[in-house]
Amino acid sequence: EVQLVESGGGLVQAGGSLRLSCAASGLTFDDYDIGWFRQAPGKEREGVSCMSNSDGSTYYVDSVKGRFTISRDNSKNTVYLQMNSLKPEDTGVYYCAVDWHGTSFNPLEYDYWGQGTQVTVSS
């Protein structure tokens, strides 16, 4: 059974930092591209960052460029999202996901998802 388990969310003041982790099991982790998504109340799920398994290329949505960093440790089957200079608009449930087909910000292309972790940024 494939499982993705996020952790590291919480409540932080604007300008603060959080590091999200996503531990994967039940799959050959380094065969998959990875992505982080978020969903705010009343809004659609949006892609935040993704990373290629083949060459390590990383991609970010414009609103988080320069503040968020995605990384992965294949030896630990874990992907991370370092979030700095957090803003209230970063609030939402953050999900990690894996994609066999390639890096994308389209959630429909992802094969497996975690349950999400709540990030709340207060002003």
Q: How confident is the model at residue 52, as a pLDDT? A: 93
**Which pLDDT score, from 0 to 100, does residue 100 have?**
87
**Pairing mode of beta strands 10-13, 18-25:** unpaired
Please, is 15 exposed, middle or buried when counting C-beta atoms within 10 Å of its C-beta (0-12, 13-18, 19+)? exposed
Q: What pLDDT score was predicted for residue 122?
A: 97
Residue 101: pLDDT band (50, 70, 90) is confident
Average pLDDT, the chain: 95
* pLDDT of amino acid 79: 96
Which pLDDT score is estimated for 123?
Answer: 94
Could you read off the pLDDT of 37-77 as tens digits, one per residue?
A: 999 989 999 999 999 998 999 999 999 999 999 999 989 99
